[in-house]
Amino acid sequence: MVCLLEKYAEYFPVTSKTPILSLGEGNTPLIPLDNLSLKLGVELYAKCEGLNPTGSFKDRGMVLAVSKALEAGASGIICASTGNTSASAAAYAAKAGIKCHVVLPAGKVARGKLIQALIYGANVLAIHGNFDVALDMTRKLADDLGLDIVNSVNPYRLWGQRSGAWEVCDEIGAPDWCVLPVGNAGNISAYWAGFVQYRRAGLIASIPRMIGIQAKGAAPLVMGRPFEKPETVATAIRIGNPVNAKKAMAAVKSSKGMFLAVSDEEILIAQKDLASSEGIFAEPASCATLAGLYKLRKQGDLPKKVRVVMVLTGNGLKDPEIVGKMILSPNEVAAEYETLREAILSC
Ligand code: AN7
């Protein structure tokens, strides 16, 4: 098993006193997307973070955050979440044998993620307020109750997530572009910091252009203002006031990247395309990346032959209900050989 904290020990703030937790996080596939590369005229790769132990990129940061919390003697952790952070926090807390409290927006977390947090044994509190409200309260609760907060305000979370960038570089060097979905703006900041750290270590020569994609209804970094009532089908990135906004803006600016917004419809089309043309089922937030590339191509802003890595942050199986909303359902067919045969021939 690959222990992420051991694999990159020299680049992480771990010492001989840090307990090394692992659920087998990281080491995710970087898959060349031949069909979409042809369609877009670029060299496109997907970093498949949905193959982490709890099905999202959060595990990279959580393993370090929870290990450091244990090192500091924490008895419990707390997070606000749109879903994936809570699933990951709950799993690593279970492994570490400490308590995990989760505050999330009621009715706005994909079913699979909610079920993960519950089965891993977290104390799940669903509030009638959005993620931004949940995070505000969680920060106060953490201070008040002496719990370790494991949202991306925790520096170890972002440090752990740098490893996604390192793995990409270890495999294909620095790409020209790195495209990520943006919610609380932690991951794009982490990837950038990862590339910067690798350049300082002399392992890559240049930093990719960082491209951050948001949903139109939750696009504070594109519009340059907080969204009071963020709304999108991509519930993972339904965030109106990102805590890492400053870091992400610096990353985008210094790498000559950009922020871009895509509609819910564009996200769902991209999700279906990715699955049916490349065999990869990623959750809606992740597919905002492909929707963004489609949009740039349409605008004539996607240079030919650039080497692009899209970070597919979460597994599609976490949010099966969304597929129902896309009006995808099986054909119901009588249990008769001839009818089945006809159904196959006419397809
Ligand atoms: C699949 O779980 O914020 O810009 O509480 O689950 O680093 O916030 C999730 C975010 C992208 C955005 N893709 O990353 C949470 C949470 C998926 C996500 C993001 C999230 P950030």
For the segment 286-303, what is each residue's pLDDT rounded down to a tens digit?
A: 999 999 999 999 999 999
295-300: long-range pairs with CB below 8 Å, 24+: 295/260, 295/262, 295/266, 296/260, 297/40, 297/41
Say yes or no: 8 and 119 in one domain. Answer: no
Say yes or no: 98 and 174 in one domain. Answer: no
- Nearest one of 175, 178, 142 to 258, comparing CA atoms: 178
Per the domain annotation, does 346 fall within a domain?
no
Per the domain annotation, does 343 fall within a domain?
no
Provide the number of structural domains found in the chain: 2
Say yes or no: 94 and 216 in one domain. Answer: no
As a dihedral over the C-alpha atoms of residue 212, residue 213, residue 216, residue 222, rounded to 10 degrees, the angle is: 20
Q: 30: domain range? A: 4-56+157-324
Q: For residues 240 and 304, give the distance between their C-alpha atoms in angstroms, rounded to a whole number.
A: 34
Tens-digit pLDDT profile for residues 45-92? 999 999 999 999 999 999 999 999 999 999 899 999 999 999 999 999
pLDDT for position 206: 97
Question: Using DSSP, how many helices (H) and how many strands (E) does the chain show?
Answer: 14, 10
Per the domain annotation, does 333 fall within a domain?
no
Residue 118 belongs to a domain with what CATH number? 3.40.50.1100
Q: Is 152 in the pocket of ligand 1 (CB under 6 A)?
A: yes
237 and 206 Cβ atoms separated by less than 8 Å: no
Ligand 1 atom nearest the C-alpha of 161 is 7
pLDDT for position 20: 94
Query: How far, in Å, from the CA of 236 to the mean position of ligand 1?
Result: 5
Say yes or no: 254 and 289 in one domain. Answer: yes
Q: For residues 213 and 114, give the distance between their C-alpha atoms in angstroms, rounded to a whole number.
A: 24
β-partners of residue 119 are none
Q: Best of 48, 57, 79, 84 to mutate for ligand 1, by most ligand atoms within 8 A of CB?
A: 84
pLDDT for position 2: 82
Q: Best of 162, 222, 313, 318 to mutate for ligand 1, by most ligand atoms within 8 A of CB?
A: 313
Say yes or no: 93 and 124 in one domain. Answer: yes
172 and 198 Cβ atoms separated by less than 8 Å: no
Query: How far, in Å, from the CA of 234 to the mean position of ligand 1?
Result: 10
Q: Is 81 in the pocket of ligand 1 (CB under 6 A)?
A: yes
Query: How far, in Å, from the CA of 3 to the mean position of ligand 1?
Result: 23
Per the domain annotation, does 123 fall within a domain?
yes
Per the domain annotation, does 335 fall within a domain?
no
pLDDT for position 324: 77
Q: Is 53 in the pocket of ligand 1 (CB under 6 A)?
A: no
Say yes or no: 44 and 124 in one domain. Answer: no
Say yes or no: 163 and 283 in one domain. Answer: yes
* Alpha-helical regions (H) of 173-279: 186-200, 220-223, 245-254, 264-278
Q: Which residue positions in the chain have pLDDT lower than 50?
A: none
Decide: pTM greater than 0.75: yes
Q: Which of 88, 123, 154 is the last residue of a domain?
A: 154
Per the domain annotation, does 334 fall within a domain?
no
Say yes or no: 102 and 37 in one domain. Answer: no
Say yes or no: 161 and 148 in one domain. Answer: no
pLDDT for position 78: 98
Ligand 1 atom nearest the C-alpha of 80 is 5
188 and 212 Cβ atoms separated by less than 8 Å: yes
Ligand 1 atom nearest the C-alpha of 285 is 13
Nearest CA residue ID for atom 8, ligand 1: 184
Say yes or no: 194 and 291 in one domain. Answer: yes
320 and 275 Cβ atoms separated by less than 8 Å: no
Q: Which of 112, 129, 154 is the last residue of a domain?
A: 154
Q: Which of 99, 128, 154 is the last residue of a domain?
A: 154
Say yes or no: 162 and 141 in one domain. Answer: no
β-partners of residue 124 are 102
Per the domain annotation, does 10 fall within a domain?
yes
Per the domain annotation, does 331 fall within a domain?
no
Q: Is 187 in the pocket of ligand 1 (CB under 6 A)?
A: yes
Say yes or no: 213 and 310 in one domain. Answer: yes
